[in-house]
Structure 1
Amino acid sequence: MSGEPLAGLRVLILGLGVAGRSAREACAEVGATAVVVDPGAPDADHADLAEVAVAGFDLCMSSPGFAPHHPWVVAVADAGVEIVSEMEFAWRVRRQGIPWVLVTGTNGKTTTTQMVGAIAAAGGLDVAVCGNMGVPVIAAARERRDLLAVEIASLQLHFTSTLSPHAAVCLNADEDHLDWHGSVEAYRADKARVYNLVQVACVYPAADAVVEAMVADAEVVEGARAIGVTLGSPAVSQLGVVEGLLADRAFHDGRRTEALELGAVSDLEHLVAGAVPPYLVTNALAAAALCRAVGVAPEAVGEGLRSFGLDAHRTAHVATVGEVHWVDDSKATNAHAAIAAFGGRSARSVVWIAGGQAKGQEFDDLVQRVRDRVRAVVLIGADPEPLASALAGHAADIPVTRIEPGDTVMEQAVEAARRLAQPGDTVLLSPACASFDQFRSYADRGDAFAAAVGALEA
């Protein structure tokens, strides 16, 4: 086991959520003294940082809920105490010899990380799928495993410095969490940290110049390679698609002259109704590249993808009622994710339920890119202004129904959408916003949508 460098140290933990509790347990295991500060947790050691002599600590683990500009984080930094993220802390207390692969991006992180898990398992590896999706990475890092597949958000990358994964991917870097990071540039700079100290493969979407620049600028372990993924025929050091087959020209000896078959686009057909959307193919290729970087056999890719199931609340078909299709995409908590959900839908065929906690986003680009497919919009956010302004500016001809906040907001939204939809339409819950203004989580929001749709069938 690792963690010995923390033995005897005093560790300040900001926040007693999942990350904070895992860090406290790990400190006890490695012989470090943990002191937790959280105003909302009765079992924290202190409710206010003012009660603590900050300068007396050797290290601070800051939970993602504390932005870099939070007064407590600033006070710790001013005291000269090193601040680390949940991910950095996990790396320092990890069990040695187990490779990590990291997945970040504005959209597609969870799907891709879970695909890594399915492919690695098909290849015979004991893989822990963990990180931002719920399973705490600190706990997973101390288990006996063959591989850690880690979903990592920009908030968890900010205070990460020594983590050295075998392979990593940034799927995309559209704007998100601007209230936390302060600017698009700061957000993307933190996303780029996913490639720092990569040992084997920096995987990136070959068509994305922003992410490709992140790879070019990364400080990696000597010998690490840049591996592109493309929806077209792959060049050398890429994975791509050839006549419907997923092809590898990166991880086999004959890559300069031929591609190695990994699976097929049709391996993903069970996940969606209709044609497989491009984003799912990109996710699958990225997951395949990460697995190939740690030595997973090529035939495991197709096998893993055929056994894979999408996470709940991601373009999930809830029901068809009166020839109207109801789709739960509550997991779309940013504009980039919502754009993906519209892929392949026909003109003026979508009644769009949107809105929530905007997180500092602007929605002009989103509205411009989806407006031709939208019949009507139902807005549910406690603060509708960011989306309402974008709709007024770029889609003034589309009718917008505003649902006031309240206990029955989703029932009212579903009823409004039912009145607006025509046979053959899709009612799409793809909020492009966080859920915390009116719901406990995106899952709670999706469940409320499904329950309201179910009431239509009754």
Structure 2
Amino acid sequence: MGSGQVTDWQGKHVTVAGLGVSGVPAAKVLHGLGARVTVVNDGDDARAREQAAELEALGIAVRLGDGATLPDGTELIVTAPGWKPDKPLFAAADEAGVPVWGDVELAWRLRKPDAAPWLAVTGTNGKTTTVQMLAAILRAAGLRTAAVGNIGVSLLDVVTGEEQYDVLAVELSSYQLHWAPSLRAHSAAVLNLAPDHLDWHGSMEAYAADKGRVYEGNRVACVYNADATDKPSTEDLVRAADVEEGCRAVGFTLNAPGPSQLGVVEGILVDRAFVEDRYRSAQELAEVTDVNPPAPHNIANALAAAALARAFGVPAAAVRDGLRAFTPDAHRVAHVADVDGVAWVDDSKATNTHAAQASLAAYESIVWIAGGLAKGATFDELVAGAAKRLRGAVLIGRDRELIREALARHAPEVPVVDLGRTDTGAMLQAVQEAKRLARPGDTVLLAPACASMDMFANYNRRGEAFAQAVRELGA
């Protein structure tokens, strides 16, 4: 099970740690390759039993409510990315000399010999948008591509599927990178670094180091944020990386770019990295107004996407065309209106704590509208991380009590309005209560951290109800 491709899975004893969005596909793929698969899972709830029944019908062994013991004869563990490194299962694996891979590592090892290269993106915020922009730019250049990874399209499905790609735009989380030791991207970007998931990683240094793994073995460009003042910075991670001979460090900045950077000059996105003479010339790529929306953080995302595309040899015109073609996901951090100095933002698509975390981290002073179906999630980490930014909270939906309890534990001074309603009309009341709590300069943020089906058909309907209520407020 060294760093090369594994070609013979027949009869190999593989333990898959965790059901869910990565565990179930991993178990099915490995079983299909002839491995003897056992799935272990901490939880034993209705959803887990449903997934277990599906796998057992295929002949895959499942152990629910016991994720701590290493099954006898295990030769490899493939873990769901969210499982913390300090779990007893991994200590047992370490003692037995059993390697641990994540789903991304498995996908990397299962690539076919002529597989498409990966352009990889990580960072605390902006990953999904950047990867979608990158895919739009690559498509504008006539390349067969897909936005994959932590973005919803499983990498396992892509690498084992029939469709041929020229290049993949890959979103990777710090969890996924932690468990992907042999991943080697064509080029990669770390967009930014802010304290996040520290209880999982153990420290800011460990979190940054896991993000920095995305640069290991890069062939053409390590793209970093030249404006970042945090320590360690993304540039520090590039310096620490072991890359292939000739790979370059390429910065992106919202200011005028220096040599080997992309930046902004008088409303134009400009490339001084992938040009003949980067000391004396620059290439215009697009106008700031081609970026949707042209907010500073999003211009930074566009520059990072452009840098990766240019590293892959994409012409300047495709950068412009791709950025013009890109449309942000509906109900994903969508600015609805400004009313009396308060910004109203719809992130109904934040249906889990991870998505809500990124959303909450983007604003300084927030009245937070949250709640819905928790899907077994806990909210302590989310609330603890956002506590200092919260002006107030308005809670809706069936599982709102879980969020209220987390607020009581980690943000006891934050005023909370608990709406004991799960009818669709509750959104109008939530918006009215949020208006009462908000002050000029605040952002009222719908980032529910929960699914919507207790009150709405889907997250789109929930976002529409919020936007409609805000419009009624403005009127």
Q: Aligning the two structures, in what range does the TM-score lie when normalised by the shorter sequence?
A: 0.7 to 0.9
Structure 1, 108-117 or 213-222: larger mean CA deviation: 213-222
Matched letter for residue 131 of structure 1:
G
Deviation of residue 427 (structure 1)? Answer: 6.5
CA distance in structure 1 between the aligned counterparts of 2:459 and 2:418, rounded to whole angstroms: 15
Deviation of residue 445 (structure 1)? Answer: 5.9
For the pair 1:226 / 2:249, whether they are aligned, the reply is yes
The 3-state SS of whatever aligns with 1:417 is helix
Contact 1:91–1:163 at 8 Å: present in 2 too?
Answer: yes
The corresponding residue for 2:465 is 451
Change (3 A) 1:331 1:74: farther
- For residue 130 of structure 2, the aligned residue among 89, 104, 112 is 112
The corresponding residue for 1:435 is 450
For the pair 1:357 / 2:373, whether they are aligned, the reply is no
The corresponding residue for 2:23 is 20
Where do 1:6-405 residues align within 5 Å? 6=9, 9-28=12-31, 30-38=33-41, 39=44, 40=48, 41-44=52-55, 45-48=61-64, 54-97=71-114, 98-142=116-160, 143-209=163-229, 210-268=233-291, 271-272=292-293, 276-317=294-335, 326-330=344-348, 333=355, 337-341=359-363, 352-353=368-369, 357-359=379-381, 361-363=384-386, 366=389, 377-378=393-394, 382-384=402-404, 400-403=415-418
Deviation of residue 160 (structure 1)? Answer: 1.1
CA distance in structure 2 between the aligned counterparts of 1:135 and 1:420, rounded to whole angstroms: 35
Deviation of residue 211 (structure 1)? Answer: 1.5
Contact 1:196–1:220 at 8 Å: present in 2 too?
Answer: yes
The 3-state SS of whatever aligns with 2:385 is coil
Contact 1:315–1:341 at 8 Å: present in 2 too?
Answer: no
Contact 1:358–1:434 at 8 Å: present in 2 too?
Answer: no
Where do 1:415-426 residues align within 5 Å? 415-419=429-433, 421=435
Aligned-residue Cα RMSD (Å) equals: 3.8
CA distance in structure 1 between the aligned counterparts of 2:239 and 2:388, rounded to whole angstroms: 27
Contact 2:145–2:165 at 8 Å: present in 1 too?
Answer: yes
CA distance in structure 2 between the aligned counterparts of 1:391 and 1:53, rounded to whole angstroms: 38
The 3-state SS of whatever aligns with 2:170 is strand
CA distance in structure 2 between the aligned counterparts of 1:133 and 1:300, rounded to whole angstroms: 23
Contact 2:220–2:311 at 8 Å: present in 1 too?
Answer: yes
* Number of residue pairs the alignment of both structures matches: 431
Change (3 A) 1:387 1:301: farther
Deviation of residue 32 (structure 1)? Answer: 3.6
Change (3 A) 1:298 1:385: same
Deviation of residue 162 (structure 1)? Answer: 0.6
Contact 2:13–2:75 at 8 Å: present in 1 too?
Answer: yes
Contact 1:328–1:446 at 8 Å: present in 2 too?
Answer: no
Matched letter for residue 96 of structure 1:
P
TM-score, normalised by the number of residues in structure 1: 0.81
CA distance in structure 2 between the aligned counterparts of 1:51 and 1:357, rounded to whole angstroms: 23
Contact 1:157–1:190 at 8 Å: present in 2 too?
Answer: yes
Which deviations, in whole Å up to 9, do the C-alpha atoms of 1:297-353 show, x marking residues without a partner? 1110010010101123322255899999753124564555334356xxxxx9x7543
Contact 2:363–2:443 at 8 Å: present in 1 too?
Answer: no
Gaps of 5+ in 2: 56-60, 372-377
Structure 1, 445-454 or 225-234: larger mean CA deviation: 445-454
Matched letter for residue 242 of structure 1:
V
Deviation of residue 50 (structure 1)? Answer: 8.0
The corresponding residue for 2:58 is none
CA distance in structure 2 between the aligned counterparts of 1:256 and 1:456, rounded to whole angstroms: 50
Structure 1, 62-71 or 37-46: larger mean CA deviation: 37-46
Deviation of residue 263 (structure 1)? Answer: 0.9
Gaps of 5+ in 1: 343-347
CA distance in structure 2 between the aligned counterparts of 1:225 and 1:50, rounded to whole angstroms: 42
Deviation of residue 419 (structure 1)? Answer: 4.7
Deviation of residue 87 (structure 1)? Answer: 0.7
Contact 1:240–1:285 at 8 Å: present in 2 too?
Answer: yes
Matched letter for residue 43 of structure 1:
E
Structure with higher RCO (Cα < 8 A, 6+ apart)? 1
Matched letter for residue 261 of structure 1:
E
Contact 1:61–1:85 at 8 Å: present in 2 too?
Answer: yes
Deviation of residue 226 (structure 1)? Answer: 0.9
Contact 1:89–1:138 at 8 Å: present in 2 too?
Answer: yes
The 3-state SS of whatever aligns with 1:68 is coil
CA distance in structure 1 between the aligned counterparts of 2:217 and 2:417, rounded to whole angstroms: 48
Structure 1, 54-63 or 25-34: larger mean CA deviation: 25-34
The corresponding residue for 1:345 is none
CA distance in structure 1 between the aligned counterparts of 2:404 and 2:68, rounded to whole angstroms: 39
